C-alpha cells in the first residue's frame, strides 16, 4: 500500500492553516530534543515563529540509553507543550513510546513520532494505524529500508495513511559519528514509496558543527522535509546538546535550506 506501484501520486499531508507536508514544498521541523520547561518552550517558539518555521519537535517521553538520564516531562509536559504551541500557531511533533500512551496523548499531538527504537514495535504501529493523526516514522537504529517500508505498511494497512518516513542514521562500523546518515535512503525511498521522506541530520551525525551541511545534502538528495534539534543553550540541554543548534545556527540553516530547496 505504501508502494508507488499502488499509488502513483505522492501523498501530501494537510495539517490545516496552510501547513502541508510532502512533495511540492519543503517542511522544516525544529526544536529541542526534550521539552524541559515553559521558558525553554517559549524561547524556541519565538525563534521558530521569527524564522517562519511552523512545526516544532520536542520529546516528553524520552528513550534514553541510561535509565538515570532525563526521561522527559511526560503527559503533563505534553499538555503545556501543545497549549503553548497553539498560542504561537505552531504544530507539534512528539514521540510516543508505547501503546498505552497513544490514547492519552491523542488530544495533545499534531504528529506522533515513532522513534528509531520503536520502528518495529508492531503493536505500537497497529495502534497508530487506528488513529486520525499523522505519524512520523523513523528508520530503525539497524533497520533496512525494506524494514522501514514494512513498518509503514503496518500503519497504512490499519487505516492511517498519513505517514512520513524519516532517515535518521543507522548504526554501522563507523565510530567517528553517532550514527551514519544514510542519504542513499532518500532517493531510494522516493522511488519506492509515495509517502513523504524527511531527513534528521541531528541524530544522523550527532555533531553540531556538521548538522547544517548534512541537512542541505538531504534536501539535494530529494528530501521533502528536514527535522533537526535546536535549543536556547545547547550546552545546557537535558539531552542531545552535542548535536543541538543554537538559534543563530538554526536561523542560518533555515535560510540555507530554503535557498537550497529552490535550486532543486
What is the contact surface with Mn ion in residues (CB under 5 A)? 33, 240
Return the SS3 of 35: coil
Q: Which residue's C-beta sits nearest to ligand PEP?
A: 115
For the bound state, the minimum distance from the C-beta of residue 168 to Mn ion, rounded and expressed in Å, comes to: 9
Partner in contact with 115, chosen from ligand PEP, Mn ion, none, beta carbon below 5 to 8 Å by kind: ligand PEP
Note the helical H segments in 161-263: 185-192, 201-205, 211-220, 247-263
Question: How many Å is the Cα radius of gyration of the chain?
Answer: 17
Q: Which residue's C-beta sits nearest to Mn ion?
A: 33
Residues that bind ligand PEP (CB under 6 A): 33, 59, 63, 115-117, 138, 168, 203
Query: For residues 162 and 240, which CB has a smaller minimum distance to Mn ion in the complex?
Result: 240
Query: For residues 149 and 166, which CB has a smaller minimum distance to Mn ion in the complex?
Result: 166
217: cell is 545534502
- How far apart are alpha carbons 240 and 250 in whole angstroms? 15
Query: For residues 117 and 258, which CB has a smaller minimum distance to ligand PEP in the complex?
Result: 117
Q: How far apart are the first and last CA of the chain?
A: 28
Query: For residues 65 and 175, which CB has a smaller minimum distance to ligand PEP in the complex?
Result: 65
Query: For residues 87 and 172, which CB has a smaller minimum distance to ligand PEP in the complex?
Result: 172
- 231, 44 Cβ separation under 8 angstroms: yes
For the bound state, the minimum distance from the C-beta of residue 39 to Mn ion, rounded and expressed in Å, comes to: 20
For the bound state, the minimum distance from the C-beta of residue 49 to Mn ion, rounded and expressed in Å, comes to: 22
- How far apart are alpha carbons 50 and 73 in whole angstroms? 26
Pair type for strands 20-21 and 13-14: antiparallel
For the bound state, the minimum distance from the C-beta of residue 6 to ligand PEP, rounded and expressed in Å, comes to: 27
Amino acid at each position: 500500500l505504501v508502494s508507488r506501484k499502488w499509488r502513483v501520486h505522492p501523498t501530501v499531508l494537510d495539517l490545516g492553516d496552510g501547513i502541508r507536508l510532502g512533495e511540492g514544498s519543503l517542511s522544516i521541523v525544529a526544536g529541542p530534543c526534550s521539552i524541559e520547561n515553559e521558558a525553554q518552550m517559549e524561547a524556541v517558539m519565538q525563534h521558530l515563529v521569527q524564522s517562519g518555521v511552523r512545526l516544532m519537535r520536542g520529546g516528553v517521553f524520552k528513550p534514553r540509553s541510561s535509565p538515570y538520564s532525563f526521561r522527559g516531562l511526560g503527559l503533563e509536559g505534553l499538555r503545556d507543550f501543545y497549549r503553548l504551541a497553539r498560542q504561537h500557531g505552531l504544530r507539534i511533533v512528539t514521540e510516543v513510546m508505547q501503546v498505552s500512551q497513544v490514547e492519552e496523548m491523542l488530544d495533545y499531538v499534531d504528529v506522533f513520532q515513532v522513534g528509531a527504537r520503536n520502528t518495529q514495535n508492531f503493536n505500537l504501529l497497529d495502534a497508530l494505524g487506528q488513529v486520525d493523526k499523522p505519524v512520523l516514522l523513523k528508520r530503525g537504529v539497524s533497520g533496512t529500508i525494506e524494514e522501514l517500508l514494512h513498518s509503514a505498511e503496518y500503519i497504512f494497512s490499519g487505516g492511517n495513511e498519513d505517514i512520513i518516513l524519516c532517515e535518521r542514521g543507522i548504526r554501522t562500523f563507523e565510530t567517528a559519528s553517532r550514527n551514519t546518515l544514510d542519504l542513499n535512503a532518500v532517493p531510494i525511498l522516493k522511488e519506492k514509496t509515495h509517502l513523504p521522506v524527511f531527513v534528521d541530520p541531528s541524530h544522523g551525525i550527532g555533531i553540531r558543527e556538521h548538522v547544517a551541511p548534512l541537512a542541505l545534502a538531504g534536501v539535494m538528495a530529494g528530501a521533502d522535509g528536514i527535522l533537526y534539534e535546536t535549543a536556547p543553550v545547547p550546552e545546557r540541554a537535558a539531552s542531545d546538546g552535542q548535536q543541538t543548534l543554537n538559534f543563530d545556527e538554526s536561523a542560518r540553516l533555515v535560510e540555507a535550506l530554503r535557498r537550497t530547496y529552490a535550486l532543486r
